[in-house]
Amino acid sequence: MPNPTVTALFRPEILAMSAYHVADAENFIKLDAMENPYGWPADIQQAWLEHLKDCPMNRYPDPEAKSLAAALRSSNNIPEEYGLLLGNGSDEIIQILQMALSGDATVMAPEPGFVMYKQIALSLGLHYQGVPLQADGFDLDLPAMLAAIHSSQPSLIFLAYPNNPTGNLFDAQAIKEILAVAPGLVVVDEAYAPFADASFIGELPNYPNLLVMRTVSKLGLAGLRLGFLAGDNAILEQLHKVRLPYNINCLTQITANFALTHQDFLLEQTRSICQQRSEVLAELQTMADIKSYPSAANFILIKTLTRSADEVFVSLKKQGVLIKNLSPQGGVLHNCLRVTIGKQEENRAFLAALQNALRNPQ
């Protein structure tokens, strides 16, 4: 029987929602969460541990994370004249952006897209409007986007570049047309920038409503939970009012700063992942029972053609390989699976398990 206190206290939209689920990956080859599979070289790790000795654990961290912000500016080519907001992962930045909006604001994003855009909007009681991508190739449906912008007048639009979970880069000119007509803010989410030779940071001078969001998670620092947002100072000044003080802890500040100033090994790992992405995609494209989609990220989307994605997903798990089953989301993601690019031996294990799952259902 439902607890009457729960139904009395919480908003209907909260009661109707499901919590974000993270799969238990223990004892699996973990290819479900778009993480960098590589650890740190021993010499780098030892230098980092020496560096951590100076961390003042008894003090609150620098509330502005000034040293880390400078390292982020340098490594991401963000001009000094633009503001920078740091968050506990990109998720917190998405939350801060939406918390700052008026209560009747509309948040818009293409769908399928990163689920937290919608999840956070609904949790805050905002209006959310998803605009379907084109079914074949997952490109932006620009006429539909422009029509939706005209009718809904969104305060905030999210455009993932490359897009998650489809992996493709939207047409840059289409994004510029959206920026030109949007009545509010447009966030270009570049979480997968390390794997894509494309960015809107250089467009910041041209569009005062443009904000560019990035994270260090995909670069290989997912455990630190650090994201950042760049854009017009006047906009970020308002967002800083919503940001909780000391939201970037001292261990994250020191570690991320160290990593960004010793990032050659991270960039080499990124190049390896991109090479492995090409090899995995080439192998997937030889399989007649699936359709695989080109990717500018560190994952690949595949659609099963002769067997349900649910069956293939279960078979892969039985073989010790964990990927992401997107089929329950329905729509254009029906019978779709997403695999993160791992180490070479992990990728080979996945490809072998996939072949087996397609030929021999369990």
| pLDDT for residue 105 | 97
Place 193 in a pLDDT band, splitting at 50, 70 and 90: very high
Quick one: what percent of the chain has pLDDT higher than 70?
98
| pLDDT for residue 3 | 83
Are 348 and 280 a contacting pair, CB within 8 Å? Answer: no
| pLDDT for residue 121 | 96
| pLDDT for residue 239 | 97
Q: What single letter denotes the amino acid at residue 130?
A: G
Place 9 in a pLDDT band, splitting at 50, 70 and 90: confident
Q: DSSP state, 24?
A: -
| pLDDT for residue 10 | 81
| pLDDT for residue 25 | 67
Q: Which CATH code is given to the segment(s) 4-41+265-359?
A: 3.90.1150.10
User: pTM (2 decimals)?
Assistant: 0.94
What span, in angstroms and rounded, lies between the C-alpha atoms of 37 and 196?
18
Quick one: what percent of the chain has pLDDT higher than 90?
90
Which tens digit of pLDDT belongs to each residue from 203-213? 999 999 999 99
For residue 109, give the H/E element and its range: strand 106-111
| pLDDT for residue 122 | 94
Place 8 in a pLDDT band, splitting at 50, 70 and 90: confident
Q: What single letter denotes the amino acid at residue 183?
A: P
What span, in angstroms and rounded, lies between the C-alpha atoms of 354 and 362?
12
Mean pLDDT value of segment 27-51: 94
What span, in angstroms and rounded, lies between the C-alpha atoms of 256 and 271?
20
Q: Residue 17: is its pLDDT beyond 90?
A: no
Are 301 and 290 a contacting pair, CB within 8 Å? Answer: no
Place 7 in a pLDDT band, splitting at 50, 70 and 90: confident
Give burial (CB, 10 Å; 0-12/13-18/19+) of 337: buried
The residue behind tokens 């892969």 is 316
Q: Where are the domains of the chain?
A: 4-41+265-359, 56-260
Token reading at 112: 């399928």
Cβ-based neighbour number of residue 61 at 10 Å: 20
How would CATH label the architecture of 56-260? 3-Layer(aba) Sandwich (3.40)
What span, in angstroms and rounded, lies between the C-alpha atoms of 270 and 43?
19
Q: Residue 19: is its pLDDT beyond 80?
A: no
Q: Which residues pair with 212 in a beta bridge?
A: 188, 230
Average pLDDT, the chain: 95
Token reading at 158: 């999210």
Q: Residue 308: is its pLDDT beyond 90?
A: yes
| pLDDT for residue 361 | 60
Token reading at 74: 């340098």
| pLDDT for residue 359 | 87
Mean pLDDT value of segment 104-131: 96
Q: Which residues pair with 187 in a beta bridge?
A: 158, 211
Token reading at 34: 């778009």
Q: Residue 313: is its pLDDT beyond 80?
A: yes
Place 362 in a pLDDT band, splitting at 50, 70 and 90: low
For residue 338, give the H/E element and its range: strand 336-340
| pLDDT for residue 22 | 72
Tell me which of 16-25, 163-172, 231-240, 314-323 is least confident: 16-25
Which tens digit of pLDDT belongs to each residue from 171-192? 999 999 999 999 999 999 999 9
| pLDDT for residue 11 | 81
Q: Residue 1: is its pLDDT beyond 70?
A: no
What are the residue ranges of helices labelled H in 140-204?
A: 142-152, 172-181
